[in-house]
A and B are shown apart, each in its own frame.
Chain A
């Protein structure tokens, strides 16, 4: 907080922040409509593709007996990974008392919520008989990592919602108080109900701060659990490439990289579209760039362990797997992912000149693309080499080339998550008004 300002000064500053941040909520631009239109079109095509999958079964995908986890599960892991950024930004960096995350913490939370929700959906998409979904719960085994995964994903969705909603309360109060004339009545009613009668009394603030703090602490183990358990889905088997003790931290560190990339992309486009250069500053990108380097270096360290140690021993099955990745069928995808999605982003982000908004956005795209392909590389090549080879299997078991329907549905589900995010950033202020104002020396408890 800066030096104590006079009442008048505070009012002016607060007015400006409120207007800047709430401007996008009050109007819908042509670009936004176009973007939503594109997303809805993609989703409509995907729904049409899903209809075929539902009608004809999973035969319409390229998944067969050997590769029974394909693009969908790779995307599931990608969603869970990216969703972890909510916890990284708000909890880890936030609890460390870093102020630079205030303008981007809500973006991170919104990404987390949108992606983790779709992580649940894509599992249903991967089911051949989604009508039997209930059986997962009726016949679930406490011993199964899949059961744990359902538990942690559900828990993470709930906590993410709360962590998005709680810091929104003061902003909802502000919107209810100031936007009545500027927005349609239904929209104002939503804010009115959601604000829970927030008036910003010291008592309300006290409860709010304490609850957020408890949840921020709680989300760290839950988030670690969600991705560690996701890694156990693979690591609890004896398959080459999965049978690894460091799979938990390997996934978690990879998740931080993917999430940071996603936040960088979102930051860039929101700042551009909503003209929030004053709030999401170049410094924000600079710091996010540094954070990306940090988490990427950790991820690089785990990558080194994951490939060097089995590569040194070259156990029969591991050797086959590593050959497939390094020089075999998946060599191009593997090296493109490792270089384009990990080495280059680390190297480029080391330079201050690269830690500017536009280059960071491009690096973010490379990182996110790399993250998705990395999940593909973790899941599929391992499955192609059967654990128990059978004789005379059809050739199609030995390869996995996703079908058009599969790709369409996957893109569609990703589009839904982006659409959820798009709606969230439109409906609610992307930057916490009250925290920003508080940082600029406004006594938020008085100026509502």
Chain B
């Protein structure tokens, strides 16, 4: 069959499939819809939920990013940080949807325990400011949650203290500058193939600063690295080139004498061995040729 026909047929089939996925309805039982969170809505639980989310959900849903409405289209799974999704679903509805799945979304009933499911939901709710914890979720410990807005972050490297300092610039609800405390920040640095985390979810102190110990990164040849600081909810981020440590000089082994170098970089021991052996042997050979000459000198004249 012609390739072009194949392509047309395959793409129609996949379009049909996507359409059918969208057309399906969620199957949520009434009991599920009425369920309340059975885990506490605490930071520890949210962190556990985040780990499960990153393992089982992120591959399709991506990062949770706070936005008014879902900004992704199929086949990319919706952004669960969208306020529209968060407000439209009760905890129980989230539970039912994750448990039973729909179309491309697999059912997680068998894969995750009820507690794990609730932990994921607890994490999902962190991106919904208007969320009111219910059931067991009501926090037992009083955590001061920063209520203002983070405007920006600035990363610097404190050479003397050997630590990264991420300064949060925030305003309170009234719009006045303030120190953002207890805000979780991730710090990553850029490598050739993407970002590597230096620290994740470190909380800011009372001065609105996040202090992260020096992890000993290899700087580039000018002594700089590219770091990316972001709030844990990914609302604000900043990527920046900062001076870090002394410049890294690529000391190519080919600039030294080595077995794999060029002829000009022959190791001395090798050169000495080679030359002395070859010289020794050839001196002996020339000596033998000289003997031929001596024999010739002794001929009968």
* A residues with CB within 8 A of B: 139-143, 148, 151, 155, 158-159, 162, 165-166, 169, 196-199, 201, 203-204, 207-208, 210-211, 214-215, 218, 222
The answer to whether B266 touches A142 (Cβ under 8 A) is: yes
The answer to whether A198 touches B295 (Cβ under 8 A) is: yes
**8 Å CB contact of B281 from A140, A155, A165:** A155
Q: Is B278 interfacial (CB-CB < 8 Å)?
A: yes
The answer to whether B299 touches A143 (Cβ under 8 A) is: no
A165–B289 Cα distance when bound, in Å, is 11
Assuming the contacts A158-B285, A215-B288, A218-B284, asked whether A204 and B270 have C-beta atoms less than 8 A apart, the reply is no
A215–B281 Cα distance when bound, in Å, is 10
- Give the chain A neighbours of B284 by CB distance below 8 A: 214-215, 218
Q: Is B104 interfacial (CB-CB < 8 Å)?
A: no
**8 Å CB contact of B298 from A139, A143, A204, A215:** A204
Interface segment among B81-89, B211-219, B231-239, B256-264: the answer is: B256-264
- Give the chain A neighbours of B259 by CB distance below 8 A: 143
Assuming the contacts A203-B298, A207-B294, asked whether A142 and B271 have C-beta atoms less than 8 A apart, the reply is yes
Q: Is B292 interfacial (CB-CB < 8 Å)?
A: yes
Interface size on B (CB < 8 Å)? Answer: 26
**8 Å CB contact of B291 from A148, A197, A211:** A211
Binary contact track B272-301/A, C-beta < 8 Å → 1, others 0: 001000100110110111011011101110
A148–B273 Cα distance when bound, in Å, is 12
* B225-266 interface with A by 8 A CB criterion: 259-263, 266
The answer to whether A155 touches B285 (Cβ under 8 A) is: yes
* B residues with CB within 8 A of A: 259-263, 266-267, 270-271, 274, 278, 281-282, 284-285, 287-289, 291-292, 294-296, 298-300
Assuming the contacts A159-B285, A162-B285, A218-B284, asked whether A143 and B295 have C-beta atoms less than 8 A apart, the reply is no
- Give the chain A neighbours of B262 by CB distance below 8 A: 141
Known: A199-B299, A214-B288; 13 extra A-B contacts, CB below 8 A, are A140-B263, A141-B266, A158-B285, A162-B285, A162-B289, A197-B300, A198-B295, A199-B298, A204-B298, A207-B291, A215-B288, A218-B281, A218-B285
- Closest 8 interchain pairs by CB? A197-B299, A142-B266, A196-B296, A211-B291, A141-B263, A199-B300, A143-B259, A211-B288
Closest approach, in angstroms, between the C-beta of B275 and any C-beta of chain A?
Answer: 9
A169–B299 Cα distance when bound, in Å, is 12
Closest approach, in angstroms, between the C-beta of B39 and any C-beta of chain A?
Answer: 49
The answer to whether A155 touches B282 (Cβ under 8 A) is: yes
**8 Å CB contact of A143 from B260, B278, B285, B287:** B260
Closest approach, in angstroms, between the C-beta of B273 and any C-beta of chain A?
Answer: 10
- Give the chain A neighbours of B295 by CB distance below 8 A: 169, 196-198, 204, 207-208
A/B interface sample: 17 pairs, CB < 8 A: A139-B263, A140-B263, A141-B262, A142-B266, A142-B270, A143-B261, A148-B274, A151-B278, A155-B282, A155-B285, A162-B285, A169-B295, A204-B298, A207-B294, A211-B291, A218-B281, A222-B281
A151–B299 Cα distance when bound, in Å, is 34
Closest approach, in angstroms, between the C-beta of A199 and any C-beta of chain B?
Answer: 5
A142–B291 Cα distance when bound, in Å, is 31
A198–B300 Cα distance when bound, in Å, is 8
Assuming the contacts A204-B295, A215-B288, A222-B281, asked whether A142 and B300 have C-beta atoms less than 8 A apart, the reply is no
Assuming the contacts A140-B263, A155-B282, asked whether A166 and B288 have C-beta atoms less than 8 A apart, the reply is yes
The answer to whether B288 touches A162 (Cβ under 8 A) is: yes
- Give the chain A neighbours of B296 by CB distance below 8 A: 196-197
Closest approach, in angstroms, between the C-beta of A346 and any C-beta of chain B?
Answer: 35
Residue of chain B at shortest CB distance from A211: B291
- Give the chain B neighbours of A210 by CB distance below 8 A: 291
A201–B294 Cα distance when bound, in Å, is 12
Residue of chain B at shortest CB distance from A163: B288
Residue of chain A at shortest CB distance from B275: A142
The answer to whether B288 touches A143 (Cβ under 8 A) is: no
Identify the interface centre among B285, B288, B295, B299: most chain A CB within 10 Å of its CB. B295
Closest approach, in angstroms, between the C-beta of A118 and any C-beta of chain B?
Answer: 21
A121–B267 Cα distance when bound, in Å, is 31
Closest approach, in angstroms, between the C-beta of A438 and any C-beta of chain B?
Answer: 18
- Give the chain A neighbours of B292 by CB distance below 8 A: 165-166, 196, 211
**8 Å CB contact of A142 from B274, B281, B299:** B274
Closest approach, in angstroms, between the C-beta of B285 and any C-beta of chain A?
Answer: 6
Closest approach, in angstroms, between the C-beta of A228 and any C-beta of chain B?
Answer: 13
- Give the chain A neighbours of B266 by CB distance below 8 A: 141-143
Residue of chain B at shortest CB distance from A173: B299
Residue of chain B at shortest CB distance from A205: B295
A197–B301 Cα distance when bound, in Å, is 9
Residue of chain A at shortest CB distance from B282: A155
- Give the chain A neighbours of B287 by CB distance below 8 A: 214
A165–B284 Cα distance when bound, in Å, is 16
- Give the chain B neighbours of A162 by CB distance below 8 A: 285, 288-289
A141–B292 Cα distance when bound, in Å, is 34
Assuming the contacts A142-B274, A143-B266, A143-B270, asked whether A201 and B298 have C-beta atoms less than 8 A apart, the reply is yes
- Give the chain B neighbours of A142 by CB distance below 8 A: 263, 266, 270-271, 274
Identify the interface centre among A141, A143, A218: most chain B CB within 10 Å of its CB. A143
A211–B289 Cα distance when bound, in Å, is 9
Closest approach, in angstroms, between the C-beta of B281 and any C-beta of chain A?
Answer: 6
- Give the chain A neighbours of B298 by CB distance below 8 A: 197, 199, 201, 203-204, 207
A222–B295 Cα distance when bound, in Å, is 25
A142–B259 Cα distance when bound, in Å, is 9
A222–B271 Cα distance when bound, in Å, is 18
- Give the chain A neighbours of B285 by CB distance below 8 A: 155, 158-159, 162, 218
Residue of chain A at shortest CB distance from B286: A158
- Give the chain A neighbours of B260 by CB distance below 8 A: 143
A151–B274 Cα distance when bound, in Å, is 10
- Give the chain B neighbours of A165 by CB distance below 8 A: 292
Residue of chain A at shortest CB distance from B293: A196
Closest approach, in angstroms, between the C-beta of A222 and any C-beta of chain B?
Answer: 6
Closest approach, in angstroms, between the C-beta of A383 and any C-beta of chain B?
Answer: 22
Closest approach, in angstroms, between the C-beta of A400 and any C-beta of chain B?
Answer: 28
Closest approach, in angstroms, between the C-beta of A229 and any C-beta of chain B?
Answer: 11
- Give the chain B neighbours of A140 by CB distance below 8 A: 263
Residue of chain A at shortest CB distance from B281: A155
